[in-house]
Amino acid sequence: MSDEADTASGAPEISGFHRTAILVTVTMSVALYAMTITIANVSLPQMQGALSATVDQIALVVTFNIVATAVATPMTGWLAARFGRRRTMLVAMGGFTVATLFCGLSDGLAELVGFRFMQGFFGAPIAPLAQAIVLASYPKERHGTVTAIFGMGVVLGPVFAPTLGGYLSEAYSWRWVFYLMVPFGVMCLAGIWVFIRVVDERQRLPLDWTGFLALAIAIAAMQFMLDRGERAAWFESPEIIVEAAIALIALHIFIVQILTSDRPFIDPRLFLDRNFAVGLLLTLIFGMLMFTPIVLFPSMLQSLKGYPDSIIGALIAARGAGTLVGFICLLFGNKLDPRIWITLGFGLQGLAGVAMTQFDINVTTFDIAWTTFLQGLGVGFLWVPLTLVTFATLDPRHLPTGMSMFHLLRNIGSSVHVSLSIALVIHMSKVNYAELSEHVSPYRESWRFPLDGLDPDSVAGLARIGGEVRRQATMIGYIDAFHLYAATALAVVPLILLVRWRKPEA
């Protein structure tokens, strides 16, 4: 196959059709990877029952996928420089497709978590490489429009994935949410082979293995600590103390290495670019808000309300619909200052979080749908402006590395906030249960006339009372997690004042 250079290489302009084919191919690839998050979340309750797992154990199916992405994402810049963007995309999509197949074939929790880790590890380079290829294929004055189109296409996967995943899980089993994606992975692989024909100036750059391994160990140890902390009683457990120590030591080694090495894994001079540094901080918080609700809602709705998977999938799909509406709004409003959209995006997510804190055990499907839609609308308003302000002043030579950092911090934020939210739900459920139980006594005046069989004088009545108290206590635990979500969204708004913006000239 004859290679055709892209605009970034300084070679002749590529044709409009070829640009469109590239945009469609990479958008489909990222959409497929994005589907793995939302489509699996809907099936978490069914996986939990089939694999005999607890709430925090089944959450590993999500968090370890995100952790693997966070670990592998920083390698994207080095992989692109060493092997070329096209070859790296081919290997990433091929490995992702194979790992997805084996996720569906898994027979145990450990096996499923392992293949989800591999799915995230191979899928990690897809998003930053795809975005870098799109930006390199179009002139700078069209970056706002093409990024909105790219983002809108990417969100179509998460829009349909929850509904489809819910019906597949209900009609067949949770395994089919993974089997479904395999043929589409093969199609994307073929598209990359045919249309991505960029000629990269490959460099035999040495990889800073010390920096990479230190960062990977720090992220993995921190995630283990957060996932296991509540079950192991936090720092009363030697395991948690060891994991925290490993994370701190590895982080120290990583920081020292990038500051002293001649060829660091991540060049610290990139952070001297003010917009890039502030943009990454905003992206970290954006990542914290991105997946937390769609991880919490399925278990809450099924365990406390008894909703079937298909209804849960439809409710979560409202978030994707909101994101799609947000991207459409940006297509018509891309001339506005991106700081306005960023403020609106975080503000809407904060508003949704405040509304979620008003939920109770009688929460309706409408309550879930409109707050979920509002979260998605905030995500739609944020994605493109965050990308624009983060890379507005960054040297184009550092685009692959910058994109890697962008997606790294987004994924770290997601995994940390999901783990903290689940730990908060579990911990506060225990606290609330203890507090509510104090009010259950046959000697209290309020229990003289028990209703609906809630009779504290009988064994069956006590069992029903215990179940209802536990149900109410768990709901309050979820509400506490929603308070954390709302506080995170609203606390970031003052940071937007640090962003500098000057409209790029054509």
Domain membership of residue 226 (yes or no) is yes
Domains identified in the chain, total number: 2
Identify whether the C-beta of residue 177 lies closer than 8 Å to the C-beta of residue 35: no
Domain membership of residue 503 (yes or no) is no
Check: pTM over 0.85? Answer yes or no.
no
Domain membership of residue 506 (yes or no) is no
Choosing from 244, 264, 284, the residue where a domain stops is 264
Q: Are residues 134 and 165 both part of a single domain? A: yes
Q: Are residues 256 and 155 both part of a single domain? A: no
1 burial (CB, 10 Å; 0-12 / 13-18 / 19+) is exposed
Q: Which of 39, 59, 35, 46 is nearest to 308 (CA)?
A: 46
Q: Are residues 215 and 307 both part of a single domain? A: no
The CATH number given to whatever domain includes residue 269 is 1.20.1250.20
Q: Are residues 320 and 217 both part of a single domain? A: no
Q: Are residues 244 and 293 both part of a single domain? A: no
Q: Are residues 371 and 391 both part of a single domain? A: yes
Residue 1's pLDDT is: 38
Residue 486's pLDDT is: 94
Q: Are residues 90 and 39 both part of a single domain? A: yes
Domain membership of residue 358 (yes or no) is yes
Domain membership of residue 384 (yes or no) is yes
Q: What is the 3-state secondary structure (H, E, C) of 116-160?
A: HHHHHHHHCCHHHHHHHHHHHHCCHHHHHHHHHHHHHHHHHHHHH
Residue 141's pLDDT is: 67
| Contacts within 8 Å (CB) and 24+ apart, 57-62 | 57/109, 58/109, 58/299, 59/227, 59/295, 59/418, 59/419, 59/422, 60/109, 60/113, 60/227, 61/109, 61/112, 61/113, 61/116, 62/37, 62/291, 62/295, 62/418
Q: Are residues 216 and 168 both part of a single domain? A: no
Domain membership of residue 218 (yes or no) is yes
Residue 6's pLDDT is: 40
Identify whether the C-beta of residue 54 lies closer than 8 Å to the C-beta of residue 392: no
Domain membership of residue 152 (yes or no) is yes
Residue 94's pLDDT is: 93
Choosing from 264, 292, 308, the residue where a domain stops is 264
Q: Are residues 364 and 492 both part of a single domain? A: yes
Q: Which of 424, 417, 416, 414 is nearest to 479 (CA)?
A: 424
Residue 435's pLDDT is: 86
Domain membership of residue 461 (yes or no) is no
Choosing from 246, 264, 282, the residue where a domain stops is 264
Q: Are residues 231 and 339 both part of a single domain? A: no
Q: Are residues 300 and 248 both part of a single domain? A: no
Residues of the chain with pLDDT under 50: 1-12, 506
Q: Are residues 224 and 348 both part of a single domain? A: no
User: For residue 439, how far is the Cα from the chain centroid?
Assistant: 40
Q: 309 lies in which domain range?
A: 7-207+265-433+472-498
